[in-house]
Structure 1
Amino acid sequence: MTDLLDRLRTAVGTDHVLTDAGDVSAYVVDWTGVHEGRALAVVRPGTTSEVAAVVAACHEAGVAIVPQGGNTGLVGGGVPDASGEQVVLSLGRMRTIREVDPVAGTITVDAGVVLADVQAVAEQAGRLFPMSLGSEGSCTIGGNLATNAGGTAVLRYGMTRELVLGLEVVLPDGRVWDGLRGLRKDNTGYDLTQLFVGSEGTLGVITGAVLRLFPATPRHATAWVAVPSVEAAVSLLGLAQQHAGAHLSTFEIANRQALDLVLAHLPGASDPLAEPTDWYVLVELAAAENDGGLDDALEAILSAAVEADLASDAAIAGSPAQRSSLWALREGISEAQKVEGATLKHDVTLPITRLAEWAAAMGPQLDAVLPGIRPVTYGHVGDGNLHYNLSAAVGADDDLRAAAADLSTAIYDSVAAADGSISAEHGLGRTKAAAGASYKSAVEVDLMRAVKRALDPDGLMNPGVLLPPT
C-alpha cells in the first residue's frame, strides 16, 4: 500500500495523511464507544478537488473508503471495519461557507461545516436554518445529509432531505457531480440530490450542499408539561396543533426514567415541577419578532390540556435562561445515559396513532426477556419517532449486553408488526444493516442493491454499511 499512501500524501499533503495509532485513534471509534475498527490511514482533504483525487486513487488501488463527518453517529456508519485495510476520509477540514443568499433563502456550504456554524451564519443574515440536534456543536452538514438526520424541529420543517436543494458529490470513481443548484423547481429527470441524502456514504462522498433558509423565529413560548401517558401526549399534540397551528415547532416527549438520569448526571439540572409523573412533554411555539400571541396560545393549550385531564402540571419558561434549562433536560438525556452505563439504543418510528399502544405493550415484553430492564424513552411525538433506549438494572450491565440481541429482536418485530421502521433518523450503519434488510421486502432490497451496483460496482464506498454484504 506504499504507492497508495504516497499518492494520498501528494493529493492532500503529508500532514493530512494520518497513519500513527495515536493520530488515528479518534477517527476509528464512534461516539458510543461500541464500534471500533482499524484504518490503513485517515485522510483529511481540504477541497473538493482533493477529495476527488483521494477517491480516484483509492478506486484505482481497489481500497475501500469510509467517509466521515463529525463522527457523532450512533450506529457505526462512520468508522472502519477491523481489517485495517480501509481509508477513513474525514471531511473535517472542509468548513467554508460558500454563499449566503437571504433573498433566495439559501446557504451553500462545504460538507465539513458544523451544524451550529450554519445556524449561526443564518442568524447573522436574519434567517433561520431550523435543523437542531443534541450534537449540533460537533456534527457536520455532510454527515447530517448522509444520514438524513432529523432532530427537534422535524414537526415544523421536516427531515434533512426537506432542507436541501442541491448537492456536490464525488462519485466512487473520482468524478465530481456538481448539483449545487438552489432551484425550488427543477423537473428535468431523476432527483439525484435525494438519491444521495440518507445513503450513508455508500454511493459517493457529499462535499457541498445548498440548504434552505427560513424566516427567523426569535420569539418563543416554551413549557415542560407533566402528562400521565403516551396516549395523553398524543392527544395533547392534537390540542397544540389546533391552538398554535404553524407556530408549533417542537413537541418532545420523555419518560421519568430519562429525566431521572439527567437530574443525576447533568450538573445544574433541576426538576422544574414539584411532583413526579410518568411522562413529560416539551412544547415550544416559535414566531417572527412582530408575530405576537404565542404566550396566549401556549396558555390556551395548557388550560385545555388540564381541563381534559391530559396534563397535571406545567413549567412555563419566563426568560431565555429558563428556556435553556428546560431544553437542557431534553438534550441531556443521551449523554446522561452514556454516563450511567451500558446502553442499548433503538431509534424507531411508528404511526402516531399507534405510539401509545406500542409503548404500553413493549415494557412488559422486554421485562420478560431481562427482568429489571429500564426503558429510557424520549423522542419526537410529532413525527412518531421514539428513542427507545434500554439501561440495565443498576450493576447489571453485563446482563444487558448478553440479552442485547433478544431485546432488539423483540423491539424490531413489534415495530414491524405496527407498520413502523427500525430506524427513524439515525440510519442503519453497521449496527442495523442486516436487520434493516430483513424487515424490507425482497423487491425493496433488490432495488437498493441495484442502485448500489450502478454507482459503486466495485463496492468500495463504505462497505458493510446500510446494506449487508451479499
Structure 2
Amino acid sequence: MLTSPHKEFHDAILAFIPKNRIYTDPLRLFAYGTDASVYRLTPKLVVDVLNEEEIIELMGVADRMRVPVTFRAAGTSLSGQAVTDSVLVRIGQGWRDWRVGEHAEKITLQPGIIGSGANKILAEFGKKIGPDPASIDSCFIGGIFANNASGMCCGTSDNSYKTVLSTRMVLSDGTLLDTADAKSRAAFARTHGHILDGLTALRNKIMSDTTLADRIRRKFKIKNTTGYSINALVDYEDPFEILQHLMVGSEGTLGFIAEVTYRTVEEAPFKASALMLLPSVKDACDLASAVATLPVSSAELMDRASLRSVEGTPGLPDGLDTLDDKVCSLLVETRASSQEELDKNIATINAAFKDVKFVRPHAFTDKPEEYSKLWLIRKGILASVGGMRPVGTSIVIEDVAFPLERLGEAATDLQDLFARHGYSVAPLFGHARDGNLHFVFWQDFGSPTEVARYAAFMDDFCKLITEKYDGSLKAEHGTGRNVAPFVELEWGAAAYSIMKSVKDLLDPKSILNPGVLMNSDPQGHIKNLKPLHPADELVDKCMECGFCESVCPSRNLTLTPRQRITAYREICRLREVAPGSKELKNLETQYDYMGNATCATDSLCRPRCPAGVDTGVFIKSLRKREAGNLSKKVANSVADHFAGTCRAISFALNSVDKLHRALGTTFMENGSRLLRCVTFNKAPLWNRDMPKGGSKLRIPEIHSANPKRVVYFPSCIARNMGPGEEHTDRRTEPEAVISVLLKGGYDVILPKNLDKLCCGMAFASKGLADAAHKKEKELEAALKEASNNGQYPVLCETSPCLLHMKQTLDPSLTLMEPIEFILEKMDGSLRFTKLPKTIALHATCSVRKMGLEGKLEKLAKMCAENVVVPDGINCCGWAGDRGFTHPELNESALKSLRMQVSTCEVGYSSSRTCQIGLSLHGGIPYYSIVFLVDEATV
C-alpha cells in the first residue's frame, strides 16, 4: 500500500502515464528492483517511460514533490547504481531511435539501444562506438554513458567522455537541454543562467588552484570513474561543454540523458592474438607497461588464479595445469586495417619483446577459430569463479587503476591483501595496458561475521589504493554505492568540495539517485546488502548480472530470467521464515503467471549466462513438480492414444477453417475473444493465421539399388497442420520436404506407425515427464528400425523437435535438421537459382541453440537475392502451444517484427507453430525454409 508522498506522486503521474506502465504489486517491485550489484533495495513504485515528454513531466512532478527517482537502463551495473527504495524509472520499449551522420563519423543514439546494437548499425561503415564494456551485448547506451563504461580496447581515449559530441538531457526540475541546438542553449541560458555561471565559477576556482588542477589532470590520465568527471572543469571553458561532460559517468545523479551523439571510431577488420606466459605478476605488468608504446589494441592480464579457474575448459591451450603457482599471462591483441599492416604490427611487437624471458614460447595467430579460443580464457574467469562459489554467496567484482609504471607492485600488494583477509579464490585480471585491474571473489552477505570481514577488507583496500598509489578505486564500473563513502578519501577535501558543489548546483533538492556516487554515511557500502538465498540447484549459481535479459521473449511482458530467479529466491526465503504469510501467498500467486506460465522455456538465456544457468530448464522442472495427478493421467492417455488425438486435432482445425471461411475473420476474432474472456483466458485464442488440418502423407517409392537413403520423421506438428489462409502454396511441410529430397536423388524412408509417433517435447515442456519419456522411447525404437540401427541419417523438418530428439534419443542415430542436411548432403545434387525477391528469415531458438543460424542464412542467400534478418528477435515466443494459450507472449516478443519485414514478400523459418505467430505479427506469410529451397532448385 502506497503512502505519502509516493501515493501523491503515483496519482499525479497517472495524468500522463497509463496505469499499466506503473507497477505497485509486490512481485514486480521486488523483481524489477534487482540489478547486477550486491545491494537490495525494493522500490515503492516502478514506472516505465517511453519517451522524452514523459520523462520531462515525471521529473517535474518529482521535483515539486521532492520524491527521489532512480533511472534504470539494462540494470547490468555492478555497483548498485540502479536500485532504490523510492521510485525506479525504467527505460521502456521506446528509446530505440538512432541516426548515423555523414560518412558515419558520428552516430546519435537514444539510451534504450543495446551497445552491440549500435555497433551493428555502424558495421557496414567499418565503424563502431568507442566504449566496449564486457556487457556490451546486454547493457544500454544510457548505462554506458551514465557510468562512463570503457572496456578492453577503448582505454581513456575512446570512452564516452572523449567521444561525446552532444547530448539531450533532462535536468532535475524537468528542463530539457539539447547541447547541439543553439535555440535550446539560448533558452537554457535565459532560464538557468545560474547553472552556467556556477559551472564557470567552479572552473575558475580550480584553475586558480594549480595544485588541484594538476591533481585532476594527473588522476584522469588513467581510468577513473570515482566521483564526478570534474576533469570537465579543467578540460573545457564553454559551460555547456563542461555540463555535458560532467553528465558522463554521473550515474543518474545529475540528470537524465535522452540522447547522445558520439564520435565513432574505426573498427579494424584484421586481428591477431598471442597468449604470453611470464614468471610472475610483476613481470607481466612490466611487460604491459611496454605495450603502451606498441601497436597493441588490448593486453589482458590474467594471474595464476585466473588461469587455474578455467583449467580443463574444452578448446583451451594444453598444459595450463602444469604452470608454476606464480606464473601470470598476458593476452595481447593487435588490430589493423589490412593484412600487411597486421603483419607489420606483429613483427614490431615481437622485435620489442625479443629479450623478454617467457615461460613458454608463443606465437600470434590471426585465425579467428584459434584466437577465439584464447579469449575464452579471459571470458571464462567470471563464469568459472561464479560456478565454484558456495550456494548462498554473492560474487564481488571490483576494478581499480594505477599509474602504469607501478602496476606490477600494486598487483602484488593486491594479492597479499586477498590472502590477508582470507579470500583464497580471488583471480586478478584486467586491462593491463591501461593500468586497470579487476578482481573477483565470493562473499556471504547473510552472515554478520562475513559482512564484517568484507568491511575490513574494503577499509584496507581503499587505503592501499588511495594512500600508497593514489590510484582509482573505480576505474570503469562507476562509483555506485560501494565506493560512494570513500570518494573523499580518494580525492581529498578540495576536490570533494567541488563535487558537492556540482551536485548542489544541478540537483539542489537531492532527488536524483540519492546514496549513489556521494554518500556521507561511512557505513553506506555495507548497508542493504543482498544475500542470495538458496532456491534450487538449477539456478543457485545465478549472479543476477542480467546478461540474459536482452534475448528473453517475455522481457517486455512479465519477467526476465534474472527476475524469475530473484523472485523465486524470495519465495523460497519466505517459505522458511514466513510460511503461510499473506506476502508469500501474493508472490506465489503472481509467480504462477509471471514467472511460470509466460516463460517460453527456450533456454536462449543459457548461452548468455556467465554461470551457465538455464532458466528454461528450471521452469520446466517447476512445471514437472507442480503437474497434478489429473494432468499426468490425461497426458498418459493422450500418449497412449496419440494417433486418434492427432486425427481429432486435424479434424478440429479443418472444422474451424471451414467456419472461418463461412463466417469471416471479424466474426471469428470477436467470437474467440469473447470465448476466451468468459472462460477466464482458459480457452485458446483463435487467430487469422491458424492453419487447416494436415493431409495423409503419400509414402514415397523405395528403389532398392539407390545408396542414397534418408529416414524422414515428419513431426506431429507438421503432419497435422496444413497451410494457413495466407499461404499460396497449399502443400503441407512434409510434402515440400519429400519434394526436395527426391530432387536430390534420395530414397525417403518413413518410420512405421508414423501416426502414433511423437518426439515427446510437447509433454516435456509442460513437465509431464512420464508421457514424454514414453513417446521418446517409442520414437527411438521406430527410428532405429527405419535407419537400420543408425546406418541412414534421420531428418526432421521441425527444429524444436529435432533438438529435443538430439537431447533425448540414442546418440548412435544421426539426427539432422533440413538446413544442415541440404548444405552438407545435397549441395552437389541440387542446382540453386537465386530468386528475384526479398525474404525475411527467422532462426528459431532451437536453430540458435544448435548453432545453425549462420547456415540458415547461408542457405537462404543461396535461394533469394535479398535476405532480411530482423534485429533483436531471438525467440518468437510461440513456445509450443503458448501462442494459443498465452498469445500475449508471442505478441510481445514480435512487437518490432512487422516494421522490420515491411519490405519483404514472404518469410521463412523452421517450425510450423512459430510460423503462425510470425505470419500473424509480421504481416507476411511465413513458410518452412524447405519451401524456399524447393522453389529455388531443380
Fold-level match, TM-score > 0.5?
yes
CA deviation after TM superposition for structure 1 residue 71, in Å: 0.5
Structure with greater helix percent: 2
Which of 347, 357, 364 is the aligned partner of 2:416?
Answer: 364
- Does the 8 A contact of 1:305 with 1:311 survive in 2? no
Which of 82, 87, 91 is the aligned partner of 1:78?
Answer: 82
- Confirm whether residue 21 of structure 1 aligns to residue 32 of structure 2: no
Q: Name the CA distance, whole Å, in 2 between partners of 1:365 and 1:238.
A: 23
CA gap of 1:26–1:135, structure 2 versus 1, over 3 A, is farther
Q: Whose radius of gyration is greater, 1 or 2? A: 2
Q: How does 1:262-301 map to 2 (within 5 A)?
A: 262-263=310-311, 268=314, 270-271=316-317, 275-276=322-323, 278-288=327-337, 290=338, 292-301=340-349
Q: Name the CA distance, whole Å, in 2 between partners of 1:386 and 1:466.
A: 21
Q: Which amino acid aligns with 2:108?
A: T
CA deviation after TM superposition for structure 1 residue 3, in Å: 3.7
Q: Which amino acid aligns with 1:443?
A: A
- Does the 8 A contact of 1:65 with 1:460 survive in 2? yes
Q: Name the CA distance, whole Å, in 2 between partners of 1:263 and 1:180.
A: 51
Q: Name the CA distance, whole Å, in 2 between partners of 1:129 and 1:273.
A: 37
CA deviation after TM superposition for structure 1 residue 460, in Å: 0.3
Q: Which amino acid aligns with 1:406?
A: A
Q: How does 1:421-440 map to 2 (within 5 A)?
A: 421-440=472-491
Structure with greater strand percent: 1
Partner of 1:405: 455
Q: Name the CA distance, whole Å, in 1 between partners of 2:109 and 2:476.
A: 22
Q: 279-288 or 8-17: which moved more?
A: 8-17
Which of 375, 378, 382 is the aligned partner of 1:327?
Answer: 375
Partner of 2:16: 11
Q: Name the CA distance, whole Å, in 2 between partners of 1:186 and 1:356.
A: 34
Q: Deviations over 1:427-447 (max 9, x none)?
A: 111111112223331122211
- Does the 8 A contact of 2:382 with 2:440 survive in 1? no
Cα RMSD over matched residues?
A: 2.8
CA gap of 1:263–1:180, structure 2 versus 1, over 3 A, is farther
CA gap of 1:187–1:408, structure 2 versus 1, over 3 A, is closer
Q: SS where residue 449 of structure 1 aligns?
A: helix
Partner of 2:250: 199
CA gap of 1:319–1:398, structure 2 versus 1, over 3 A, is farther
- Does the 8 A contact of 1:110 with 1:208 survive in 2? yes
Q: Name the CA distance, whole Å, in 2 between partners of 1:273 and 1:51.
A: 56
Partner of 1:138: 138
Q: Deviations over 1:231-268 (max 9, x none)?
A: 32233335545552xxx21111111212332447xx74
CA gap of 1:93–1:142, structure 2 versus 1, over 3 A, is same
CA deviation after TM superposition for structure 1 residue 99, in Å: 0.7
CA deviation after TM superposition for structure 1 residue 363, in Å: 2.5
Structure 2 unaligned residues grouped into runs of 5+ = 1-5, 183-234, 522-938
Q: Which amino acid aligns with 1:308?
A: V
Q: Name the CA distance, whole Å, in 1 between partners of 2:443 and 2:39.
A: 20
Q: Name the CA distance, whole Å, in 1 between partners of 2:317 and 2:12.
A: 57
- Does the 8 A contact of 1:180 with 1:209 survive in 2? no
- Does the 8 A contact of 1:166 with 1:181 survive in 2? no
- Does the 8 A contact of 1:68 with 1:89 survive in 2? yes
- Confirm whether residue 388 of structure 1 aligns to residue 388 of structure 2: no
Q: 384-393 or 156-165: which moved more?
A: 384-393
Partner of 1:460: 511
CA gap of 1:399–1:134, structure 2 versus 1, over 3 A, is farther
Partner of 2:404: 352
CA deviation after TM superposition for structure 1 residue 270, in Å: 2.6
CA deviation after TM superposition for structure 1 residue 11, in Å: 2.3
> RCO higher in 1 or 2 (8 Å CA, sep ≥ 6)?
1
- Does the 8 A contact of 2:160 with 2:262 survive in 1? no
Partner of 1:374: 425
CA deviation after TM superposition for structure 1 residue 220, in Å: 0.7
Partner of 1:415: 465
CA deviation after TM superposition for structure 1 residue 227, in Å: 1.9
Q: Name the CA distance, whole Å, in 1 between partners of 2:395 and 2:349.
A: 35
CA deviation after TM superposition for structure 1 residue 141, in Å: 1.0
- Confirm whether residue 189 of structure 1 aligns to residue 239 of structure 2: yes
CA gap of 1:101–1:272, structure 2 versus 1, over 3 A, is farther
Q: 128-137 or 149-158: which moved more?
A: 149-158
Q: Name the CA distance, whole Å, in 2 between partners of 1:367 and 1:329.
A: 23
- Does the 8 A contact of 1:231 with 1:356 survive in 2? yes
Q: Deviations over 1:335-356 (max 9, x none)?
A: 3333332433331111111111
CA deviation after TM superposition for structure 1 residue 397, in Å: 9.4
Partner of 1:309: 357
Q: Which amino acid aligns with 1:363?
A: Q
Q: Name the CA distance, whole Å, in 2 between partners of 1:268 and 1:50.
A: 50
Partner of 1:171: 171
CA gap of 1:353–1:240, structure 2 versus 1, over 3 A, is closer
Q: Name the CA distance, whole Å, in 2 between partners of 1:400 and 1:304.
A: 47
TM-score by length of 2: 0.46
- Does the 8 A contact of 1:109 with 1:210 survive in 2? yes
Q: SS where residue 14 of structure 2 aligns?
A: helix
Q: How does 1:445-456 map to 2 (within 5 A)?
A: 445-456=496-507
Q: Name the CA distance, whole Å, in 1 between partners of 2:12 and 2:472.
A: 42
Q: SS where residue 333 of structure 2 aligns?
A: strand
TM-score by length of 1: 0.88
- Does the 8 A contact of 1:172 with 1:203 survive in 2? yes
Q: Name the CA distance, whole Å, in 2 between partners of 1:122 and 1:349.
A: 30
Q: Name the CA distance, whole Å, in 1 between partners of 2:469 and 2:380.
A: 29
CA gap of 1:18–1:408, structure 2 versus 1, over 3 A, is same
CA gap of 1:217–1:157, structure 2 versus 1, over 3 A, is farther
Q: Name the CA distance, whole Å, in 2 between partners of 1:30 and 1:329.
A: 26
Q: Name the CA distance, whole Å, in 2 between partners of 1:321 and 1:90.
A: 39
Q: SS where residue 362 of structure 2 aligns?
A: strand
Q: Deviations over 1:273-323 (max 9, x none)?
A: 5553521112111122x4623134325524653632145333643422223
Q: Name the CA distance, whole Å, in 1 between partners of 2:258 and 2:318.
A: 43
Q: Name the CA distance, whole Å, in 2 between partners of 1:434 and 1:156.
A: 25
Q: Name the CA distance, whole Å, in 2 between partners of 1:469 and 1:409.
A: 15
Which of 37, 41, 46 is the aligned partner of 1:37?
Answer: 41
Q: How does 1:53-92 map to 2 (within 5 A)?
A: 53-81=57-85, 86-92=86-92
Q: How does 1:78-157 map to 2 (within 5 A)?
A: 78-81=82-85, 86-103=86-103, 105-155=105-155, 157=157
Partner of 1:46: 50
Q: Name the CA distance, whole Å, in 1 between partners of 2:256 and 2:78.
A: 19
CA deviation after TM superposition for structure 1 residue 468, in Å: 0.7
Q: SS where residue 334 of structure 2 aligns?
A: strand
CA deviation after TM superposition for structure 1 residue 451, in Å: 1.1
- Does the 8 A contact of 2:277 with 2:359 survive in 1? yes
Q: Which amino acid aligns with 1:111?
A: P
CA deviation after TM superposition for structure 1 residue 156, in Å: 7.6
- Does the 8 A contact of 1:269 with 1:329 survive in 2? no
CA deviation after TM superposition for structure 1 residue 93, in Å: 2.6
CA gap of 1:364–1:230, structure 2 versus 1, over 3 A, is closer
Q: Deviations over 1:37-81 (max 9, x none)?
A: 111211111111111111112222221001111111111111114
CA gap of 1:172–1:207, structure 2 versus 1, over 3 A, is same
Q: Deviations over 1:80-137 (max 9, x none)?
A: 14xxxx1111124344232101426100010111111011111133322232222111
Partner of 1:2: 7
Q: SS where residue 16 of structure 2 aligns?
A: helix
Identical amino acids, percent of aligned pairs: 26
- Does the 8 A contact of 1:65 with 1:89 survive in 2? yes
Q: SS where residue 194 of structure 1 aligns?
A: helix
- Does the 8 A contact of 1:27 with 1:71 survive in 2? no
Partner of 1:220: 271
